[in-house]
Amino acid sequence: MADVSMPIGVLARSAGCKIQTIRYYEGIGLLPAARRTAGSQRRYGETHRQKLAFIRHARELGFSLPAIRELLALADQRESDCAEADRIARRHLESVNRRIAMLDGLRTELELMLTHGQGNRIRDCRVIATLADHRLCSQSHHAEATDS
């Protein structure tokens, strides 16, 4: 609890992010503005530390900043129903599942391309041939990824 008035560098280390990231979050209104010293330097307290930890953890879990903005607002409504928060998480899970499915398709094709020994000429290379002609692919693998 010696962090009643942390400078930004200490906060950044505690959150495991860059100083610029914190200023960026403040700039877009995701993290409330810090109080300033007489010389305009930011000083943070426990509330800021918790909010930033929440943001960073959500980012690690792949949530987008707009989604995190909503989640942060919801987190402050302690007595409200959590359906909306759950909906956001579920939507993100679906997006993660779609991306996994897409990458699985890519993996299949890449592995297929690479099923040939060493010492080939380019004109016999399955990697190059496949890239030049989708008919050598085993699937459609037509990609489209959306985020939460």
Partner DNA sequence: CTAAAACCTCCAGTCATTGGAGCTTCAAGC
Partner DNA sequence: GCTTGAAGCTCCAATGACTGGAGGTTTTAG
Q: Given the rule CB under 8 A, which residues bind its own copies? A: 50, 53-54, 57-58, 60-62, 71, 74-75, 77-83, 85-86, 88-90, 92-93, 96-97, 99-100, 103-104, 106-107, 109-111, 113-114, 116, 118-125, 127-128, 130-134, 141-143
Which residues have a Cβ under 8 Å from the Cβ of 103 and sit 6 or more positions away?
none
Helix or strand (DSSP H, E) at 42: strand 42-44
Q: Which residue has the tokens 């002609």?
A: 133
Ramachandran area for residue 129 (φ above 0: left; ψ -120 to 50: alpha; else beta)? alpha
Q: Does 40 bind DNA (CB under 7 A)?
A: yes
User: Which range touches DNA (CB under 7 A), out of 4-12, 46-54, 107-115, 125-133?
Assistant: 4-12
The pairing of beta strand 35-36 with beta strand 6-7? unpaired
CB of 13 to its own copies, least distance (A): 16
User: Which range touches DNA (CB under 7 A), out of 38-46, 74-82, 87-95, 120-128?
Assistant: 38-46
Cβ nearer to its own copies, comparing 40 with 140:
140
Gap between the Cα atoms of 45 and 9, Å rounded: 13
Gap between the Cα atoms of 34 and 25, Å rounded: 11
Gap between the Cα atoms of 87 and 29, Å rounded: 23
Cβ nearer to DNA, comparing 21 with 108:
21
- Chain residues binding DNA by CB under 7 A are 7-10, 12, 17-21, 23-24, 36-42, 59, 64-66, 147
- Chain residues binding Zn ion by CB under 5 A are 82, 86, 120, 125, 127, 134, 137
